[in-house]
Structure 1
């Protein structure tokens, strides 16, 4: 299609098209850079049956830690722009012509072993998924089950995460042969303690690692997990981990929030942009109300780190 001036016009992508093409694009760029990368979560989890199919709001990619910088550089050359980084496990990118975000991870919350060890284990157990008519490596059935469980357990009180966890438990109850490979992968990647709620629900007895192993990383996980519904904790952690020079970009990002997540948290919101400002006000009011509890949780975490 061309415009009256004779120049080609842009054709808008739907979000599902954008997700599939973003996966295909990043897989191709990773190969070109000589970087190992795995599609994960979203369509991969649905492909393996661990999640009901639904539209995702972003494309998730796990890349070997040494490959993060070259892949981000290549994406930047193609117009992908990095958003302020307030998470220590991923970089979120946007593109003016793309209807979705791209989350590039070099680690994943809940895996307490070193990121290189985790990636190698997930790479060894990988499988393949076809997205946008392009086969690409992805986390295998075992790795995807562990990733899905950790993602749900990170904020267990979140409505969607609760239902996804219940779905995963039901599917694993139907596939008891998954017990040994899942527990073996959890042991190798330092996820035995973080996956304990899943193992308890399934009645899978497991000998856990010594409490001292990964103690600081586990304390950070527990802080985020048990405070997942307290926005104040999340905001304080983001500010704590970011250099002060990044705060001017970080604070507006935290206050505004993503539309999809706001509507998920406040499903009663009417359509339209004005309603989003109401949701932001509700979210800010809750965060301010929870600040005393948030400061107390941070202090407990700090004492745990000092004791370790």
Structure 2
């Protein structure tokens, strides 16, 4: 007599799920011969670049030419794009957030990382060439070098609004990179700075780590794009202005209306807004409009520098 066994899924804690997601992606990539590197997150701890912290998502860098293909592959395993409100960006689209209904952590798939202004394919090729092996969930995974992971983490910290947590992580990253900055590591950093075109963006940090100038590797327009994205509110306003400016004439009005007055359906895609009532949606619109008006002058000034870039 065969006994019927009920199989129930076990809810994974995020601290366990995120390393497993990295390991899963590494395995899937290898099976489909796609070049993928694990970056950031718990790898920073293992490399001595960050204190212990639970990561809610797994950050993955995939060879740019196969970004769409790899996301389709992950979709066959149940990983789907998160439905988020559309917000144009001054920087090129670079990532997709994938979620799984039975997984508590996300997978952020990047084709490049904001802050690098070198050609995405060339930057990835260098990161792949200098890759190393880490260990997550007790299995080996391919990851960017220690120097590259440190640089990527610095770019991530610097592109966000400064908080006490960001400041603490920044200090840890600089201290960790300084600690092992021998001539070989320094040469790797210089090469990454040149190929990635991050000298202007990370001028202060590169000088502190021992890199000599020059540091003028960006156009005024490229630098303006980076500066607009340094604060989320200004980045959102600047993104809409940039999208409207670049759109065909027949699309400009549609984009303007969408920027000023998004639909209720779009607003409900924001975190915590799924069940908002009518008054909650009104409050969200008022706050959003006020934020846009407040950041409009600075975003417009920065956008002017991008003209002709």
| Residue 69 of structure 1: aligned partner | 68
Decide which of 174, 188, 193 is 1:181's aligned counterpart.
188
How far residue 288 of structure 1 moved from its aligned partner, in angstroms, is 4.0
Q: Hey, what's the Cα distance between the residues in 2 that align with 1:40 and 1:7?
A: 38
Deviates more, 1:243-252 or 1:186-195: 243-252
Q: Hey, what's the Cα distance between the residues in 1 that align with 2:175 and 2:54?
A: 21
| Residue 293 of structure 1: aligned partner | 294
| Residue 13 of structure 1: aligned partner | 12
Do 2:49 and 2:176's aligned partners in 1 also have CA atoms closer than 8 Å?
Answer: yes
Q: Hey, what's the Cα distance between the residues in 2 that align with 1:189 and 1:71?
A: 23
1:191 aligns with 2:171: no
TM-score, structure 2 as length reference:
0.79
1:144 aligns with 2:149: yes
How far residue 233 of structure 1 moved from its aligned partner, in angstroms, is 3.5
How far residue 70 of structure 1 moved from its aligned partner, in angstroms, is 1.7
SS at match of 2:142: strand
Q: Hey, what's the Cα distance between the residues in 1 that align with 2:95 and 2:50?
A: 22
Give the unaligned 5+ runs of structure 2: 245-250
Tell me how many residue pairs correspond in the alignment: 284
Deviations 1:56-103 (A, max 9, x none): 010000000112112111111121110146562110011110011110
Deviations 1:22-55 (A, max 9, x none): 1111111112222100000101222211111210
| Residue 29 of structure 2: aligned partner | 30
Q: Hey, what's the Cα distance between the residues in 2 that align with 1:31 and 1:7?
A: 33
- Flag the structure with larger Rg: 2
Decide which of 264, 271, 282 is 1:256's aligned counterpart.
271
How far residue 302 of structure 1 moved from its aligned partner, in angstroms, is 2.8
Name which structure has the greater RCO, CA cutoff 8 Å, separation 6+: 2
Q: Hey, what's the Cα distance between the residues in 2 that align with 1:123 and 1:29?
A: 17
Do 2:242 and 2:303's aligned partners in 1 also have CA atoms closer than 8 Å?
Answer: no
Decide which of 83, 94, 97 is 2:102's aligned counterpart.
97
Q: Hey, what's the Cα distance between the residues in 2 that align with 1:281 and 1:249?
A: 9
Q: Structure 1 28/203 Cα, relative in aligned 2: closer, same or farther at 3 Å?
A: closer
Deviations 1:93-114 (A, max 9, x none): 1111001111000010100011
Q: Hey, what's the Cα distance between the residues in 1 that align with 2:129 and 2:298?
A: 37
Do 2:37 and 2:143's aligned partners in 1 also have CA atoms closer than 8 Å?
Answer: yes
Q: Hey, what's the Cα distance between the residues in 2 that align with 1:108 and 1:168?
A: 17
Structure having the larger proportion of residues in helix: 1
TM-score, structure 1 as length reference:
0.80
Deviations 1:276-298 (A, max 9, x none): x99x9998776544322322233
Deviates more, 1:242-251 or 1:173-182: 242-251
Q: Hey, what's the Cα distance between the residues in 2 that align with 1:52 and 1:281?
A: 41
Q: Hey, what's the Cα distance between the residues in 1 that align with 2:111 and 2:81?
A: 15
| Residue 49 of structure 2: aligned partner | 50
Do 2:57 and 2:107's aligned partners in 1 also have CA atoms closer than 8 Å?
Answer: yes
Q: Hey, what's the Cα distance between the residues in 1 that align with 2:292 and 2:208?
A: 32
How far residue 186 of structure 1 moved from its aligned partner, in angstroms, is 1.0
Do 1:46 and 1:53's aligned partners in 2 also have CA atoms closer than 8 Å?
Answer: yes
| Residue 233 of structure 2: aligned partner | 231
